[in-house]
Chain A
Amino acid sequence: MEPITSDPCYSSWLEKSKSPSHSLFKEELVELYRRAGVASIFCSLPPKRVSPRAPMEIASANVICLQVSFCDLQEILPFSSSIGFCKHPLVSLATQRCRLSGEPCRLSVVVKCSLPSDPLLIRISISDTGVGSCLEEFQGLKFSRQSIGDEKWDGVLSVRTTGKCDNEVYHYQLNLKESASARRLTRLPSNPKNGVKFSGTEVILSMFESADALVAEINCFFQKMLMLKIPNVAYELVVERGDAPGSQCEHVFLANESNPLSFSASNLECLKSGIEDYVLKHGYKKEHLKVGSGTAYCTEGHQNTGWMMDTVIAISEISEPISSCFRTSGAKSEVIYFKDFSPCSVSRSSMKALTSIDWRSFGLTLKSIANQGGYAFLDWEGLPPNTRIDIILHSYHKQAIMPSAKQETQLDRNLIKRAVKLALDDLKEKHAGVLLSAHALKIRSYAPDLAKTIAGLILSSNDSGFQGECFSLLGLQCQGVGGEIVEDCIKKKIISVIEMNDRKSHERSEDVAPFLFEDECLQELDFQEDEYEEGVGFVFLARLYMRFSQLDQLMLKPRILSMGVLESPAWLPTVYWQLEIEHGYSLS
């Protein structure tokens, strides 16, 4: 491509940019980039960011500008960083191949700084022992000049691959910058296997990049891959600097190092276990870690499309500050998003979905949600100081299809909502007292006072029979029980009812609490005036008697002396009787 300065379009743009009118400026720029080979572009430049400078600087300034301003672009580009683009899809493909094999596999990334004289030139090799590759997956890779300049990478991949049943190791060269499909793939001489049965793939590329930055990024990437805890894949990062011996260092990332899982564990179980490992490794305490998980299925009509989303939510208490790939501290949560077994940036619809979740019913108040560099950050209000919440989402298709065949499905916004809610419900179900809604928290704050009052009532009685019965109902020993113990016992029971009701309320079952005087028979009286008969009065009396007799210690024993019905206006029937009561208190 010719240098940008010689482009006539560019010069006219430059002229106009001196006195920019926004829309014109925009059009020229769009045209420029279209010529540069960018497939599509969303343009809304804030004019003040652009200042007339030397042409190259302006061009690069604009590039940065564009990258930062447009969140939409995240949906097209896997990663916004210049390093990231190339490597991540390759590792993702390698991961898929390893998963497909079903056997223990290794995935290695070797970074070699080849020449001491040219320290920026590095050779990256991504190799795996999974199933052999069909080249379609590579053909499907898109290359966007926007993220990597020409000078960084020439677009060439060297691929060696073989399947278990193949007799040779095939060797290809792929030029992703070549637009004509015929000239993209070049077949190179293969190597014989000599009867040895193995499968695997190696992809090699060279680029100009800082080795340290790359290694750090790969490290971080693998840390995240460990969260997925794919049972049969071991990741390895090897860094070689120069030819001198001893300049090699290795990092091994074993998924099953701690807490091994069987190969048959579901993806969700792996994810859960992976998060737990990760969190514990970084200094959290196991007893303060609470994890909830759930899987939501994407349906069209009534059928599962096969797309699903696993969600794990971990609530932990920080004991000491840690450094990790989590770019969060306390009141902010990072939402880690995986797509098809590879870390992915968060889409705008996902952000919207996260905003629309009813966090309040789980006692959480979302202050704001931000998208920074492809990562979603949730800012909470009023979280206890040492608590952190991590949300991990993983969407994938239940069949491990190779990427070239998959369609880009716009994930249902509801899928995320459902998945997160499932995980939150699970968390509440498993751990009492966690994620109580604001309502429940408020009611729970009254529990100590209520417990104290009732305990006070029990203890102030001078009736040992009554006290004994209370204690036995509470499951306490009768003798020598202190006030605090009684109070505490009642308080615990009340709190557990409140928490249980809070969990139940999510199932939308309105449990009506029983009345204190359950057999309150007067409640049931519902006579209509025209139904009035003589017998009614008797029934009323009988019920009255029943009510009295329920009160065991009551000494009133009413005896009916006489009963009758008086003539009265039809609208006001009256029963009249005389009762003799032993402990006569005159009632008129």
Chain B
Amino acid sequence: MGDLRKSSMRFFSDQNLCYADILPPSEIRARIEVAVLNFLRILASPTPAISDLPLINRRSSNCRTSKGLLAQVSCVFLSHSFCTRSLMRANTAKAFIRVWKVMEMCFGVLVQEKRVTQRELFYKLLCDSPDYFTSQLLVNRTIQDVVALLQCSRYSLGIMASSRGLVAGRLLLQEPNQEVVDCSECGLSGHAISGDLNRLETLILNTDARYIIVVEKHAIFQRLAEDRVFNQIPSILITAKGYPDIATRFLLHRLARAFPDLPILALVDWNPAGLAILCTFKFGSIGMGLEAYRYACNVKWLGLRGDDLEMIPEQSLVPLKPRDLQIAKSLMSSEVLQENYRRELEIMVQHGQRVEIEALYFHGYDYLGKYIAKKIVQANYI
């Protein structure tokens, strides 16, 4: 803890960058209080008005990329384009009020020094104001609005990320003054990654692995964990069971910082969605753009890739869905996507087909381990 107190903060700043601060609860409460005071001041002034809320624009038009200088990491940033939520426009009036309601809820949570998950917040808001919050998605979006307004991280608002990720392999985790957890002994399911970023931050990490393997799907993770692939190739397996959540990315980032020599390799399906997941680990996301840069890691694409297709039987090739094509389109338009990824994506779209990793089982259930080993040894990752 002493380290942290005196540690200097280093951050890269592009002068166009907007970022979200991680701040203690008292600071966030202060920001919310400032918001309320400003609102009342303007409301009670001689020329009264109802102030608009300026939110950092979370659109691709406001997205910039920055190639990191001291590391191989490039990230997605949001710049200073603002969109406003105003009460005075009939179709955004509800969104305006939603932001205030979430601020009220978070303020209460912080005053009581608690933490809530987004799901819990949803149910509270649903009961409190059913007219305004009808779905989890709406709650999540509004939380992002508050993050964009107060320019603080979601975690600082008292919102705990739910844990969805798993880690397994040659990694020793220890919470301060607790027992050491050996992730290679956690069985099929691996060790669940906590949603509490604070706790993740304070974990003590130890490893003798040589690689970190990020796996897209839970089933594949289980297969690899069951086969104890991480003992054959000294590695750490990590999965977010789909689209990466903050906690998983946070842990991955910590691992990357703690063990900078370990290449991070991703094992995803051969489809645009898989590539999108890889890119999120790699660059961050626009929707959470204010916090995105923090957790970007230099992830390399191990498989499945275009040159693996020769190993796949014809029957395993499945046509792309319209949703896949949409994702492909938005990935293509992202300027951060590197050339070789772009080529792979083009081939995907041209073939109009996708393949899941499970297709490799055609060659036998243990083929996957061999496949990974072979590719790693050949350094066949981009």
B257 is contacted by which of A454, A568, A588 (Cβ under 8 Å)? A588
Bound Cα distance A439, B88 (Å):
9
Are A578 and B10 in contact (CB-based, < 8 A)? yes
A535-555 interface mask toward B, CB cutoff 8 Å, 1 = contact, 0 = none? 011001000000000111111
How many A residues are at the interface, by size bracket? Answer: 35 or more
- Does A496 belong to the interface (CB within 8 Å)? yes
- Does B60 belong to the interface (CB within 8 Å)? no
Are B88 and A443 in contact (CB-based, < 8 A)? yes
Given A463-B33, A553-B26, check contact A516 B49 (CB 8 Å).
Answer: no
Are A490 and B21 in contact (CB-based, < 8 A)? no
- Does A518 belong to the interface (CB within 8 Å)? yes
Bound Cα distance A446, B90 (Å):
10
List residues of B (105-124) whose CB comes within 8 Å of A's CBs.
107-108, 111
A583 is contacted by which of B24, B29, B149 (Cβ under 8 Å)? B24
List residues of A (469-498) whose CB comes within 8 Å of B's CBs.
469-470, 473-475, 490, 493-494, 496-498
Contacts of A463 in B (CB 8 A): 29, 33
B54 is contacted by which of A453, A454, A515, A527 (Cβ under 8 Å)? A515
Are B41 and A572 in contact (CB-based, < 8 A)? no
A460 is contacted by which of B11, B39, B54, B104 (Cβ under 8 Å)? B104
List residues of B (79-128) whose CB comes within 8 Å of A's CBs.
80, 82, 84, 86-88, 90, 93-94, 96-97, 100-101, 103-104, 107-108, 111
Contacts of B36 in A (CB 8 A): 454, 457-458, 466, 470
Minimal beta-carbon separation of B291 from chain A (angstroms): 11
- Does B35 belong to the interface (CB within 8 Å)? yes
Bound Cα distance A466, B131 (Å):
30
Minimal beta-carbon separation of A518 from chain B (angstroms): 7
A514 is contacted by which of B23, B51, B129 (Cβ under 8 Å)? B51
Given A513-B88, A575-B15, check contact A555 B51 (CB 8 Å).
Answer: no
Bound Cα distance A112, B35 (Å):
80
Number of contacting residues on B, CB 8 A?
71
- Does B30 belong to the interface (CB within 8 Å)? yes
List residues of A (561-575) whose CB comes within 8 Å of B's CBs.
561, 566, 568, 572-575
A513 is contacted by which of B6, B35, B51 (Cβ under 8 Å)? B51
Are B107 and A494 in contact (CB-based, < 8 A)? no
Bound Cα distance A580, B103 (Å):
30
Contacts of A583 in B (CB 8 A): 5, 24
Are B37 and A469 in contact (CB-based, < 8 A)? yes
Contacts of A443 in B (CB 8 A): 87-88, 90, 93
Bound Cα distance A474, B39 (Å):
11
A523 is contacted by which of B80, B101, B107 (Cβ under 8 Å)? B80
List residues of B (34-87) whose CB comes within 8 Å of A's CBs.
34-44, 48-54, 66-67, 69, 80, 82, 84, 86-87
Given A450-B87, A490-B43, A516-B51, check contact A587 B11 (CB 8 Å).
Answer: yes
Given A443-B93, A446-B97, check contact A581 B52 (CB 8 Å).
Answer: no
A364-385 interface mask toward B, CB cutoff 8 Å, 1 = contact, 0 = none? 0000000000000000000000
A574 is contacted by which of B14, B49, B111 (Cβ under 8 Å)? B14
Given A469-B37, A516-B39, A587-B11, check contact A555 B93 (CB 8 Å).
Answer: no
CB-based nearest A residue for B42: A514
Given A456-B104, A584-B6, A588-B257, check contact A497 B129 (CB 8 Å).
Answer: no
- Does B31 belong to the interface (CB within 8 Å)? yes
CB-based nearest A residue for B43: A493
Given A470-B37, A494-B50, check contact A588 B88 (CB 8 Å).
Answer: no
Bound Cα distance A568, B15 (Å):
13
Are B111 and A450 in contact (CB-based, < 8 A)? no
Contacts of A518 in B (CB 8 A): 38
Are B39 and A576 in contact (CB-based, < 8 A)? no
Contacts of A584 in B (CB 8 A): 4-7, 9
Contacts of A577 in B (CB 8 A): 13
Contacts of A302 in B (CB 8 A): none
Are B13 and A576 in contact (CB-based, < 8 A)? yes
- Does A64 belong to the interface (CB within 8 Å)? no
Contacts of B107 in A (CB 8 A): 457, 460-461
Q: Which 6 A-B pairs have the closest CB atoms?
A: A553-B30, A473-B40, A516-B51, A453-B100, A457-B104, A515-B54
**Partner-B contacts on A (CB < 8 A):** 439, 442-443, 446, 449-450, 453-454, 456-458, 460-463, 466, 469-470, 473-475, 490, 493-494, 496-498, 500-501, 511, 513-518, 520, 522-523, 525-527, 536-537, 540, 550-556, 561, 566, 568, 572-581, 583-588
Can you list 23 pairs linking A and B with CB atoms under 8 Å apart?
A443-B90, A453-B100, A457-B100, A460-B104, A460-B111, A466-B36, A475-B44, A513-B51, A513-B88, A514-B51, A515-B84, A516-B54, A517-B35, A550-B34, A553-B30, A566-B69, A572-B67, A578-B8, A578-B10, A579-B8, A585-B9, A585-B23, A588-B257
For the A-B complex with A450-B96, A572-B14, A587-B21 known, give 11 more contacts whose Cβ atoms are closer than 8 Å: A442-B93, A450-B87, A463-B33, A473-B40, A493-B44, A496-B48, A550-B34, A551-B34, A568-B69, A585-B4, A586-B9
**Partner-A contacts on B (CB < 8 A):** 4-16, 18, 21-24, 26-27, 29-44, 48-54, 66-67, 69, 80, 82, 84, 86-88, 90, 93-94, 96-97, 100-101, 103-104, 107-108, 111, 129, 131-132, 149, 201, 257, 294
